[in-house]
Amino acid sequence: GIHVAKKVDKLGMRSSDTAQIFFEDVRVPCKNLIGEEGKGFTYQMLQFQEERLWGVATVLTPMETIIQETVDYTRQRKVFGQPVLHNQTVHFRLAELATEVELLRSLLHRAVALYVEGNDVTKFASMAKLKAGRLTREVTDSCLQFWGGMGFTNEVLVSRFYRDLRLMSIGAGTDETMLSIICKHMDTLPGK
């Protein structure tokens, strides 16, 4: 019955094993059945809002960490006799990124509060996930740039986050899927 294929060699999240699992002629006793037979996909779809909110929550600290590490690094790294952080463009960009992270945190808090009250948070969870996916790319790319060549090595955290956090825009529904869901909840699709 159960066959596990070889481990998938992924771009990021390399510490998490991923493989296909195949079930052939597997029988599940009725006492071990969870929910109704044939409803597995529906159950999976229902939990997506929680998964998306969890995903947003898990990227906030890494983004804050990489911004702070970039502040620290650019404060001590000197170019033309001045710390890189003294360049107004660098300083302002890091302040802007920190602001965006706080805005995402506020959206997450609102969505979670509505969820706890029993509301349908599909639109807000999708908005938060969309923003988180795009912001993780923006934060890691911007910060990596300020690290210069050192950021392109495996020795620093920014390169790992650049690689690993990219999954946020793909896992649990792509950015484009989030946009479709948001549109449906805004009644902006053609023909509605």
102 classed as catalytic: no
Helices vs strands, H then E, count in the chain:
6, 4
* Dist. CA 91–CA 138, nearest whole Å: 15
Closest residue by Cα to residue 100 from 132, 146, 142, 122: 132
Active-site option among 24, 36, 50, 51: 51
**What are the structure tokens assigned to 75, written together?**
């404060």
Q: What are phi and psi of 4, to 5 degrees?
A: -105, 120
User: Amino acid letter at 70?
Assistant: T
Indicate the DSSP class of residue 84: G
Indicate the DSSP class of residue 77: -
Say how many C-beta atoms besides its own lie within 10 A of residue 187's C-beta.
7
Catalytic residues: 51
